[in-house]
Each structure stands twice: as structure tokens, then as C-alpha cells.
Structure 1
Amino acid sequence: MHQLLKKLNYKDQSPILLLNLPPELAAFEKYVQTVTKVVHNLDEVEKPQFALFFVTQLQEIEHIAQALQGRLEGDTILWFVYPKGTSKRYKCNFNRDTGWASLGSLGLEGVRMVAVNEDWSALRMRRVEYIKVLTRKFGTLSEEGKVKSEK
């Protein structure tokens, strides 16, 4: 299995949604296509199980959050892949700590960070009901997360 898929907790979910994949990751996509079906548009999958959203603008996150409304079921694996602050090729108008509020309205919290390559980092967003322990009191995005972090 591709090392990146391992890091991203891929467990045979199908299809994998790859949104806005940059050209330098074409080899990764080619590998994924040998493992499972790949779709490139949220409209192609009713209830996504595994998704990588490559984003560089806050508006993209907000648009995806709106599109996901009512479509999350179970312990969906959602990765938001965004430019590292040190990237020389890509820039974005948010960072690891800011810009994710629209996902909180879906009951999602950031739970894990993974380095994709020298330009991209990935943040896993998970539904609060599937997070065993949420100890972060500062920076919770969702009402559910705020309640859970106070327990």
C-alpha cells in the first residue's frame, strides 16, 4: 500500500474522493486508482466515506462544508489538505489553527495532522461522536466539541 494512504488511515473505503488534487500528486492518484475507485466531484458520491480535499482558500472550505451538510454518515474519514506555511509553491489564507469554523457547524473537530510532502499538510476532521477523548478546551470548533472537552 502507498505510504501516504497508510498515514491517512485508508481501510478499503470506496470510492475515494480526491478534490482539487495538484498535478505533482498525479502518481499518487494513479496508484489509488489501482486500489479503488476514485471520484473527483462531491456530487459523484452521496455519503463520502474517505475524502481528500485539497484547499488553498477559506471559501473552498466553506463551500465544501456547505456541500457536506446532511451527507456525513458514520465515522467518515475527511482530510483537508492545505499548503504548509513553508511552501514555496502554494499559499493559503488560513492555517492549522484558523479557518475551520464552517466545519464545526457539521459537528467536526480536527483530530490529527499528517505531512503529505514538502508543500502540503493534511488535517483530519472527525465527527465528535467518534472522538474518544477531546482534551483541547481552546479552539474547539463545534458545540458538541465544546461539551465533550469539558467532561
Structure 2
Amino acid sequence: MNQQNSRFSRAWAFVIGVCVSVLVVGAASAADGPVKLQTLRGVDVSVNDPVGEGTRFGPDTPVLPRDFVQQPPLIPHTIEGYLISKEFNKCMDCHSWARSKEANATKISITHFKTREGAEMSSVSPQRYFCNQCHVSQTDSKPLVGNTFKPGAGLR
């Protein structure tokens, strides 16, 4: 058997070993009852209620400062219950170019109307449509780990 076939055989033996281990552990876990999930802060998470007690949305605040260049703006209000799907985006009720002035909200950036290659589009790019990929709401919670981060010099 040549060296390449030997590596291939060892790789498959490893994969099969991992699969058997997962099955054995899974069977043992199933016998113990349902798995309990917890957040990093130790709050139980229910599969039926993914938001649960572990999520606390902060109160509305003035626009929040940015900590580094090109940081997506933070969301200074609750988004609890906001629907963002292929068919509808609740954020656009206030942040679209047509409604931002009336809603007294920040309008979305022109960059949200461009493709990866920089071509302009007439509507929001699919890459920018799901706001929570980049923009996050703030909560009043203690950090999970220590942090000594300082904002970039250009933003002081």
C-alpha cells in the first residue's frame, strides 16, 4: 500500500471512530434524559423559548458612539419581536430612505445598496438585508470576560 492510500485509510478509520464515539455518547445521554442547555452566564435555555430569560433588551437610548473605524452602528433601541425574513424587514419601517426623516431615524447607508463588486442596486443588497448580521442591540449586562479594549485613536 502506498503512502497516500495509507493516509486515506487512517483518515477513514479516524472518521469511523469519531462516529462510533458520538453514537455511544448520544445513546448514553438519551438514557439520562433531555439535555439541559445554559447560556454562558448560567441561565437555563429552553428549546421552546430561545429568547427566554437569558436575553434582556436594553431601553431606548440616544445614538451610541462607535469604537473603531467602519464599525456598524449599534442599535440604540429594543428589537424584541422585530420580524426580518425574506419577505419583510421591520427595520425598514423606519430606516429606509423613504421613511427615515418621518421616523426621525438614521437612514441606511448607501453601501447597503451596492454589490460586493461595488455596482449600485435600486434596493437593499441581499448581503445587507438581514440587519442583525452586523448591527446589535445593546444590553445592560456585565461582560463575560475581562476586557481592556480602548477605542481606536481616530475616534477619540
Q: Same fold, TM exceeding 0.5?
A: no
Q: TM-score normalised to the size of structure 1?
A: 0.21
TM-score by length of 2: 0.21
Name the structure with the higher strand share.
Answer: 1
Which one has the largest radius of gyration? 2
